[in-house]
Chain A
Amino acid sequence: MAESADLTTLLERLLATDIEFVLVGGLAAVVQGAPITTFDVDIVHRRTTENVDRLLAFLAAVSARYRNRPGPPLPPSRSALLGPGHSLFVTDLGPLDALGAIEGGADYDQLVLVSRTVIIAGRSLRILPLETIVALKRNSTDPKDKLRLPVLEAALRHQNRDS
């Protein structure tokens, strides 16, 4: 984990670029009103060469390097970002996970179809809906996901009740 984190600024700076991505994971749940605390920004980016090049430029601007790796800092790999794997970075503004695909192999092209748009800092942010996040977490074997699931389900009930 980074010594400090300013995930709001990290997200706002991402939005100020033309990078195509969907916000997933804990921060997407936070944006939708789930009272949890999350320590990184998880995005699923569109894996076209043009978009990955835009993402690489952004990553360089925030000094992104792979986290949890021994040895000297390793800069982002273009070929890794073009693939379906998970690239876990630490940046000057906090941790950022660039995911080629998430559970079940769902990639940007699939997720963008079910995504919801919210306005952050005057820009459109595509996020994974809470109902989709809950559905994914129900199938997760990660203990952290299991602990959070009751809170996410309760937030979803509130969202459905209020809409």
Chain B
Amino acid sequence: MNSGSARVGDASDLAAVDESLIDAAMALSPEERLRQNDRMIRTVLLVKEGWAAMKAEQDGRER
């Protein structure tokens, strides 16, 4: 979640933090921050499921 508009290129960019994401999170209430975390989890799980399904299909075709 700490990528966004952060620069990409040299090694120092590994520590770059998108300050606008922090501003956005700070503007939320603690409860809203918790719900946003839940939404992110659901999104990550959805992507993981999609990736696993794609891999399974790909492996099946290669056999």
Q: List residues of A whose CB falls within 8 A of some B CB.
A: 1, 3-8, 11, 27, 30-39, 94, 118-121, 125, 150-151, 154-155, 158-159, 162
B22→A35 contact, CB < 8 A: yes
Say what secondary structure dominates the interface of chain A. mixed
A-B contact count (CB 8 A): 81
21 cross-chain CB contacts under 8 A: A4-B42, A5-B38, A5-B41, A6-B38, A7-B34, A7-B41, A8-B35, A30-B34, A31-B30, A31-B33, A33-B26, A34-B22, A35-B18, A36-B1, A37-B1, A37-B44, A118-B30, A121-B31, A150-B2, A151-B2, A154-B22
The answer to whether B17 touches A154, judged by C-beta atoms less than 8 angstroms apart, is yes
Residue ID in chain A nearest B26 by CB atoms: A33
Cβ proximity bits B27-63 to A, threshold 8 Å, 1 near / 0 not: 0101101111110111011000000000000000000
With A and B bound together, what is the CA distance between A159 and B25 in angstroms? 11
Contact (Cβ within 8 A) A30 B42: no
B10 at the binding interface (Cβ < 8 Å): no
How far in angstroms is the closest Cβ of chain B from A62? 16
Cross-chain contact of B1 among A4, A35, A158 (Cβ < 8 A): A35
Q: Are B2 and A36 in contact (CB under 8 A)?
A: yes
- Whether B45 and A33, one on each chain, are in contact in the complex, defined by CB atoms closer than 8 angstroms, is no
B residues contacting A by CB (< 8 A) are 1-2, 15-19, 21-26, 28, 30-31, 33-38, 40-42, 44-45
Of all chain A residues, the one with the shortest Cβ separation from B35 is A8
Report A43 CB to chain B, min CB distance, Å: 14
Contacts of B44 in A (CB 8 A): 37, 39
Query: Which chain B residue has the least Cβ–Cβ distance from A149?
Result: B15
Chain B's closest residue to A94 (CB) is B41
How many angstroms between the C-alpha atoms of A92 and B9 in the bound complex? 42
Tell me the bound Cα distance from A38 to B25 in angstroms.
14
CB pair B17 A37 closer than 8 Å: no
Q: Find out whether the CB atom of A8 lies under 8 angstroms from the CB atom of B45.
A: no
The answer on a CB contact under 8 Å between B34 and A158 is no
